[in-house]
Amino acid sequence: MDELRAVAVAVALERVALDNPWADHVWRLRTVGPAGTMDAGATLCLDDLELRLHPDEAENYLINLATLVPRLFAVWRLEDDMPAVVMVTASYGEAARMLDAGLNVEGVPLPDDLRGWIEDFARHHYQPPEKQPRRGRPAAAGYGARTS
């Protein structure tokens, strides 16, 4: 099966001024959308990115889709005081791992036009974990034993 595993996306970020003695601004994710779309209110639009799906992340895509508001996550870091997007993902697991690695991770609601594609991919590649045989538990002293 030769399937589509990646789509081009645009990421829009804004520089938000702060009234803070330690920092004068912070960067925030505004939108993630199809490549070629521009966000008029954004300070920075990056249009050369992709959302790539991986078969081993299928369970994490399904977890995301099962939430009240499924999300796309942009993973980025600062380089010379400008955000550099490392990746865009629909996987809770990937987003969590990147956050644990010290990168900035922000989410926006998943666009409806991507939801079906991600769900079809995830359902096709999802493999439930193998069931482990149940082992009997030894009875605790005095529990379940007859004392007559």
Residues 24-68 have pLDDT tens digits of 898 999 999 888 887 888 888 888 899 999 999 999 999 999 999
Each residue's pLDDT tens digit, 70-125: 999 999 999 998 999 999 999 999 999 999 999 999 999 999 989 999 999 999 99
CA distance to 7, 18, 116, 128, per residue, from 59 (Å): 20, 39, 15, 8
> Residue 144: its pLDDT value, please?
59
Mean pLDDT across the chain: 88
Annotate the chain with DSSP letters as a single string.
-----EEEEEEEEEEEE---SS-SEEEEEEEEEETT---TT-SEEEEEEEEE--GGGHHHHHHHHTSSS-EEEEEEEEETTEEEEEEEE--HHHHHHHHHTT-EEEEEEPPHHHHHHHHHHHHHH--PPPPPPP-PPPPPTTSS----
Q: Confidence class of residue 5 from pLDDT cuts 50, 70 and 90?
A: very high
Percent of the chain scored above 90 by pLDDT?
A: 61
Provide the pLDDT for residue 124.
95
**Averaged pLDDT for residues 16-23:** 90
Q: What is the pLDDT of residue 146?
A: 59
